[in-house]
Amino acid sequence: MNIYKIVKKITKPAEIYLIQAHSLTVELSDEKIESIEQASTEGLGLRVIDRGGLGFSYTTDLGLIDRVIEEASLNARYATRDRYNLLPQRASSYPKVNIYDEDLNRVSLKEKIERIKRASRAALEYDRRIRKVYKTAYHDATYRISILNSEGLEVSYSGTSCSISLMAIAQEKRESQSGSEFDIQRFYQKLKVEEIGRRAAQKALSLLGAKKIKTQKIPIFLDPLVGSSFVGLIANALSAEAIQRKRSLFRAKLDKRVGTRELNIIDDGIFKEGLGSAPCDDEGVPTSRKTLIEKGILRDYLYNTYTAAKEKKSSTGNGMRGSFKSLPGIGATNLFISAGRRSKEELIKGMGRGLYVTETLGMHTADPISGDFSIGVNGQWIEKGKVSYPVCGVTMSGNLMELLKSIEEVGSDLRFVGNIGSPSIYISGMMISGPSFHSGSPSPE
């Protein structure tokens, strides 16, 4: 179906968002195939604006487009009027991004399965104490997105992604610990297959023989994956919608200090091969690189077309949809703390004494409005600049703003979890409460 003709059939301002996607998921247990799932999706979302009233409808059957137009138009006619309901104008150009792997669909299922097994074997062969690999999973997706509206905006692009994840189980005497790892790439050949297995094994082994630590305020060193979890909380607080609704800890702090000079947070929609990279957002607005926090000073928020109109600004290219079934809200492209110059090892050596946090539990319980959090953490105790022994099941509590203002230095090891990234982070001091002791750990002497 020619989607360009659909917009012309509607007499009111209208927008079409169309996605066509194919995906493959393979799960292995003990190197035996547990499941193979292939799926194809085609869906269309339609926005119609009638004198400020917003109507929306969607379908997975393009043959029903007339009904979708009727529903969206009817919804718009009786919706509450809002003068900020607007569609973005046509862009003069879009940035070029490298996010499509032309070779992915040429790789056979047999080869993909063998590659998954290599990750599992790498974990099992790493150390005799790795007794089992629990559910190695592979996933890939190919998609094409097309957006057009009655303002003359027309843009289409394609993308791919692929990932491998696994969990390794380490056992020694009567104790067992687990370690999970993953890798997500735009390009199949860039998946770090054996490295995933080795890292999962290292994580599981590193927690064997965990000890208790007493309640105290100590220096903290956050692993990049843990740092990314905190950046994810910050993403919500940087949304212009949260600011306008007075539901953000960054409200009324524009051009004010919210962190140390070591803190720089970037939202980069054109980051090389980033999982959040695209030529445009889900409204068709071109993406770009934006510094949101510069040397600890809050410089900007993330806007879509609606929230930008409220402040007589331009969208920052952060209008994001959960799927074709939803209206565009606000989301990050590739949001990350920019890397520093020194390695993780150098920072730990200079830290002297403290806790290296490698895993968090209950991050979803953190309050994105006040910034308060109290989460379970696992990690390694640092003594005299060296890893001394594992620590499990303690609690780290504090406030997100307090954490940002306590950053001493960030590492050079930037890593992403999807579209959210962070390097290692050295924090001068946070409160650790113990022990909420891990059931898999032995009783300390």
Write down the mean pLDDT value for the chain: 94
pLDDT score, position 440: 38
Are 139 and 240 in the same domain?
Answer: no
> Does 411 share its domain with 347?
yes
Give the structural domain span for 398.
209-445
Last residue of a domain, one of 182, 205, 228: 205
pLDDT at 311 over 80: yes
Q: Do 153 and 292 have their domain in common? A: no
Residues 27 and 146 in one domain: yes
Say how many domains are in the chain: 2
Do 144 and 227 share a domain, yes or no?
no
> Same structural domain for residues 201 and 236?
no
| pLDDT number for residue 435 | 60
- Chain segment 265-292, per-residue pLDDT in tens: 999 999 999 999 999 999 999 999 999 9
CB atoms inside a 10 Å sphere around CB 443: 6
Nearest one of 19, 11, 151, 146 to 87, comparing CA atoms? 151
Task: State residue 1's pLDDT score.
Answer: 56
Q: Which of 187, 205, 223 is the last residue of a domain?
A: 205
* Domain endpoint, select from 205, 222, 249: 205
- Would you state the pLDDT for residue 51? 96
Shared domain check, 350 and 270: yes
User: Is the domain of 89 the same as that of 101?
Assistant: yes
Interval 25-53 mean pLDDT: 95
CA distance 221 to 380: 10
The DSSP result for 90-144, as a single string, is PPS---------TTGGGS-HHHHHHHHHHHHHHHHTT-TTEEEEEEEEEEEEEEE
Q: Say which residues have a Cβ less than 8 Å from residue 207's Cβ, sequence separation at least 6.
A: 170, 177, 179, 378, 390, 392, 441
What's the one-letter identity of residue 201?
Answer: A
Amino acid found at 265: I
> Can you give the CATH number for the domain in which 11 is found?
3.30.2290.10
CA distances from 201 to 31, 125, 133, 194 (A): 16, 9, 9, 11
The predicted model scores a pTM of 0.94
Provide the pLDDT for residue 113: 96
Q: What is the pLDDT of residues 105-136, one digit of tens each?
A: 999 999 999 999 999 999 999 999 999 998 89
Average pLDDT over residues 294-309: 98
Q: Are 436 and 325 members of one domain? A: yes
Same domain, 291 and 307: yes
